[in-house]
């Protein structure tokens, strides 16, 4: 089983990218999580799309997601909502509308996130719901993972050091993988 993981942060020391890397190392047997990036995706501009088409970084990421069994979105929370860079990436990935279904329709998706604050990423995860519904994904809601006070669960190099968070992440991933592998219907 192949799952694409996408962090909604561009920062080198991102807590969410650290969480995504930790998830890649904790996948259940038979499942592989490939970490992808939003780096290189320009701000969405309809004029740019009309003049030049889909940027190469977007086309490459679209193909990887379309070829995968599922998508794990790891979302920061900025100003109590979706980070602009992540929404921008998803907006590009849904272009042109005729191709959005290949990338998103029925795609099994899960959301997790990490925040230095006390509430994890609950507001960001909730803000994603209408976007994901519009895209027609199969959102797994059998588990929820919001890592609060995340600055204290990773070491200086971004390695997950908190045993309780590791256990929750393993359980979340096991549930998501079971969902992805379950027959449709």
54-72 pLDDT per residue, tens: 999 999 999 999 999 999 9
| Cα–Cα distance measured from residue 119 to residue 135, given in angstroms and rounded to the nearest whole number | 27
| Token pair belonging to 173 | 């991933």
pLDDT interval class at 76 (50, 70, 90): very high
- What are the helix and strand counts (H, E) for the chain? 7, 6
pLDDT interval class at 183 (50, 70, 90): confident
**Total domains in the fold of the chain:** 1
pLDDT tens for 81-95 read 999 999 999 999 999
| Cα–Cα distance measured from residue 70 to residue 160, given in angstroms and rounded to the nearest whole number | 23
Taking the model in full, what pTM does it have? Answer: 0.96
**What is the structure's pLDDT at 150?**
95
| Token pair belonging to 164 | 């309780």
Q: Is 40 left (phi over 0), alpha (psi -120 to 50) or beta?
A: left
Helix (H) or strand (E) holding 23: helix 15-25
What burial class does residue 155 get, using C-beta atoms within 10 Å of its C-beta: 0-12 exposed, 13-18 middle, 19+ buried? exposed
Q: Which domain holds residue 127?
A: 2-181
Q: What is the mean pLDDT of residues 136-140?
A: 97
Is residue 113's pLDDT more than 70? Answer: yes
Residue 139, domain CATH: 3.40.50.360
pLDDT tens for 9-47 read 999 999 999 999 999 999 999 999 999 999 999 999 999
Is residue 148's pLDDT more than 90? Answer: yes
**What is the structure's pLDDT at 185?**
62
């Amino acid at each position: 089983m192949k799952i694409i993981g996408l962090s909604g942060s561009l920062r080198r020391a991102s807590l969410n990218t650290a969480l995504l890397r930790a998830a890649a190392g904790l996948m259940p047997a038979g499942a592989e999580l490939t970490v992808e990036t939003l780096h290189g995706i320009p701000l969405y501009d309809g004029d740019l799309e009309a003049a030049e088409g889909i940027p190469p970084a977007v086309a490459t990421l679209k193909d990887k997601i379309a070829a995968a069994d599922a998508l794990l979105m790891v979302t920061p929370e900025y100003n109590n909502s979706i980070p602009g860079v992540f929404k921008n990436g998803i907006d590009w990935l849904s272009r042109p509308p005729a191709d959005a279904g290949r990338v998103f329709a029925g795609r099994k998706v899960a959301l997790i996130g990490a925040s230095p604050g006390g509430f994890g990423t609950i507001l960001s995860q909730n803000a994603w719901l209408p976007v994901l519904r519009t895209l027609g994904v199969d959102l797994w809601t059998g588990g929820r993972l919001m890592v609060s006070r995340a600055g204290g669960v990773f070491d200086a190099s971004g390695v997950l050091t908190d045993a309780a968070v590791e256990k929750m992440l393993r359980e979340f991933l096991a549930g998501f993988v079971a969902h992805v592998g379950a027959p449709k219907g």
